[in-house]
Amino acid sequence: MPKAQREQGHARVFDLGQQSLRELNQALHDLGPGSNETAWEVLNPKGSHSVAVGVDQPISIDVRGSVGYYCAGMNDGGTITVHGSAGPGVGENMMSGQIVVKGDASQYAGATGRGGLLVIEGNASSRCGISMKGIDIVVRGNIGHMSAFMAQSGNLVVLGDAGDALGDSIYEARLFVRGKVESLGADCIAKEMRPEHIELLQGLLDRAGITDVKPSEFKRYGSARKLYNFNIDNADAY
Amino acid sequence: MAYHNPPTTPRRSATFDDYTLSEIRRAAATGIYDIRGGGAKRKLPHFDDLLFLGASISRYPLEGYRERCDTSVVLGSRHAKKPIELKIPITIAGMSFGSLSGPAKEALGRGATLAGTSTTTGDGGMTEEERGHSKTLVYQYLPSRYGMNPRDLRRADAIEVVVGQGAKPGGGGMLLGQKISDRVAEMRTLPKGIDQRSASRHPDWTGPDDLEIKILELREITDWEKPIYVKVGGARPYYDTALAVKAGADVVVVDGMQGGTAATQEVFIENVGQPTLACIRPAVQALQDLGMHRKVQLIVSGGIRNGADVAKALALGVDAVSIGTAALVALGDNDPRWEADYNALGTTAGAYDDWHEGRDPAGITTQDPELMKRIDPIAAGRRLANYLKVMTLEAQTIARACGKNSLHNLEPEDLVALTIEAAAMAGVPLAGTNWIPGKNGF
């Protein structure tokens, strides 16, 4: 076993300063159902792309540092924590499991995600939750423009502000924003917060470990459903 | 004496022909552009404008039916641990479940497998019908990411990153609500019955540098086993091919404007992109300039119909071709046996292209359970296999006449062009001359 790959407590440690990304991902993919190697630690990611992509077992991975593009892409059951910031596409197309980014996230965080929970403790850049298809995303800070563009389903919770064109061409995803929204995109409107939404939002905040804000502080946004079936009278909205 | 003015024959405008007039009336009545399936229908420079030079004295032909002419091809040998090996250089292009019925997808898988080639998924994800009956299945990674998941990614034999389609380079898709059955809605994570707008661009990368990193991610997820194709619409084939190679593609797919689509605006289909013939030489040139010809394989699609088209494309430097529309016809699409039903839809067998409406009498481009019963996936698969084998035999016949013991030994020197346009586009001499218009540039 290479020097850097050692047992540290109960965690299996990979040092990307000494070992390759390929070795890390292959080792993660080689895990079968029921493996007892359930705790992993990745050192020195130094902005590497594709760290811990394609995880398909219920393991936990602590990444100690910042990562580049597509960290934890297509995660299916893993619990992955980035103790730093994440580059573009963190958790893209996630199927299930949980990803936590302790710092900020760049563009298209959680893009097309189909399930699981993505928590960004800092800010997220543009296109957060673009084309989301069932994922839940909670951002403690702000999100950039064109977030939740063509969002199909799932929930996006933002404790800070949202940029321009929030929820453009949105389908059935639910957006909860506590701060200011720069502008709403095509077919996205503010909606009433009914008791079931308060309950849903409280559950999302609980799952994200957020205890210092109340659901009542948020506004809900969703689809006006005018673009669901093409009508020439709505052409100006496109 | 009164001057007699003889009556003249009514003259129709070439510009405002009957079709154009009917389109103007239709647009005025409905307020919406015409949406249809298929590829460009206008007459375009095509493979028909090229001829092969059979062997005489300066070349030595091979005996038909006696001397071997190899047809196999390996795709994805650049980086993938498990390249694809096909018996014939004709693959089935991506066509989505949702646009096509389940039995049609099954038939494509059956036919391709019988003939020794691959089939491809499409917008809508991977179905059991298709995976179960396709020995070799290419999984499309599309901007919409409908049905996209890592489990299916791992079940695929190759991954095709779709950047564009020949019928609509730069365009997204629209699947009208009437085709959104419960199953289609579930696969696409959308409510039943609504129009489904597919994105025109990938949500999480924006340029060639990003694409390179995206391909790295796909390779990492699949442990570098599967070939990665990059498919582009035939618009700027030289630069798009070069950038796909730069991004790390194992295979580049260039789809010319005769290539079909499930549903897009008629005006888009007929006015955006370049003919398939015009796309091949620039794409090959890009590979040659990069020293990657035959190292990164090139697949070309869009209007391929017979073995002569296959042979001509290969002679111009491609490694394989892909068929979509022709495969649907082989399955039974637009078959005259359903003429009465086509008439009821206001069209005729051979011209039906409103696939998005879900009323396909042949049961192929529909989700209607009753119509779907009209296609027998076993028999239709057999028809497709027959067709693929005929195309291969035709291409072999031509190759042998040119003295080649492999389809891949065909070369531009084996061709001449009938028109100046085709000569310029294909980069081969005008017949009877040694003149290649536009040589040294595009």
Chain A neighbors of B204, CB-CB under 8 A: 70, 88-89, 92, 107-108, 111-112, 127, 130
Q: What is the dihedral of CA B312, B314, B315, B316, to 10 degrees?
A: 90
Q: In this complex, do A22 and B220 lie within 8 Å of one another by their Cβ atoms?
A: yes
Chain B neighbors of A49, CB-CB under 8 A: 213, 216-217
Q: In this complex, is the C-beta atom of B186 within 8 Å of any C-beta atom belonging to chain A?
A: no
B434 CB-contact burial (10 Å; exposed 0-12 / middle 13-18 / buried 19+) = exposed
Q: Closest to A111 (Cβ–Cβ): which among B174, B203, B216? A: B203
Distance in Å, alpha carbon of A211 to nearest chain B alpha carbon: 31
Could you report the per-residue pLDDT of B321-370, keeping only the tens digit for each? 999 999 999 999 999 999 999 999 999 999 999 998 889 999 999 999 99
Could you report the per-residue pLDDT of B29-82, keeping only the tens digit for each? 988 888 899 999 999 999 999 999 999 999 999 998 889 999 999 999 999 999
DSSP H or E segment with residue B330: helix B325-331
- Is the Cβ–Cβ distance between B414 and B315 less than 8 Å? yes
Could you report the per-residue pLDDT of B152-197, keeping only the tens digit for each? 999 999 999 999 999 999 998 767 676 677 877 777 777 777 887 7
What is the structure's pLDDT at A4?
45
Q: How far apart are CA B85 and CA B169, in angstroms?
A: 29
**Residue from B196, B217, B356 whose CB has the most chain A CBs within 10 Å, to mutate:** B217
Chain B neighbors of A93, CB-CB under 8 A: 145, 148-150
What is the structure's pLDDT at A9?
56
Which are the contacts of B437, defined by CB distance < 8 A and separation ≥ 6? Answer: B420, B423, B424, B430
- Is the Cβ–Cβ distance between B118 and B112 less than 8 Å? yes
Q: How far apart are CA B145 and CA B163, in angstroms?
A: 12
* B 418-437 near A (Cβ less than 8 A): none
For residue B396, pLDDT over 70 is answered with yes
B129: confidence class by pLDDT, cuts 50, 70, 90: confident
Chain B neighbors of A50, CB-CB under 8 A: 213, 216-217, 220-221
Residue whose structure tokens are 């403790």:
A121
What percentage of chain B exceeds 70 in pLDDT?
98
What is the structure's pLDDT at B421?
96
B442: confidence class by pLDDT, cuts 50, 70, 90: low
Q: What is the dihedral of CA B358, B359, B360, B365, to 10 degrees?
A: 10
Q: Closest to A25 (Cβ–Cβ): which among B148, B189, B220? A: B220
Q: How many helices (H) and strands (E) does chain B have?
A: 15, 16
Could you report the per-residue pLDDT of B206-261, keeping only the tens digit for each? 999 999 999 999 999 999 999 999 999 999 999 999 999 999 999 999 999 999 99
Residue B24: DSSP 8-state: H
Half-sphere exposure of residue B154: CA atoms within 13 angstroms, side-chain side: 14
* A 125-164 near B (Cβ less than 8 A): 127, 130-131, 133-134, 149-150, 152-153
Q: In this complex, is the C-beta atom of B222 within 8 Å of any C-beta atom belonging to chain A?
A: yes
Q: List Cα–Cα distances, B352 to B11, B264, B271, B275, B343, in angstroms.
A: 29, 14, 20, 22, 10
Over residues B288-310, mean pLDDT: 98
Locate the chain B residue with the closest alpha carbon to A108.
Answer: B204
Over residues B382-397, mean pLDDT: 98
Which are the contacts of B126, defined by CB distance < 8 A and separation ≥ 6? Answer: B137, B139, B147, B152, B155, B156
Six-digit token string for A123: 């800010």
For residue B440, pLDDT over 80 is answered with no
Q: How far apart are CA B220 and CA B230, in angstroms?
A: 17
Residue B61: DSSP 8-state: P
DSSP H or E segment with residue B28: helix B18-30
- Is the Cβ–Cβ distance between B422 and B277 less than 8 Å? yes
Distance in Å, alpha carbon of A212 to nearest chain B alpha carbon: 32
Instruction: Provide DSSP, B385-414.
Output: HHHHHHHHHHHHHHHHHTT-SBGGG--GGG
pLDDT by 10s per residue, chain A, length 238: 444 444 555 799 999 999 999 999 999 999 999 999 999 999 999 999 999 999 999 999 999 999 999 999 999 999 999 999 999 999 999 999 999 999 999 999 999 999 999 999 999 999 999 999 999 999 999 999 999 999 999 999 999 999 999 999 999 999 999 999 999 999 999 999 999 999 999 999 999 999 999 999 999 999 999 888 777 777 776 6
What is the structure's pLDDT at B181?
76
pTM over 0.80: yes
Which of A151, A145, A101, A112 lies closest to A127, judged by CA? A145
Which of B161, B148, B165, B155 lies closest to B130, judged by CA? B155
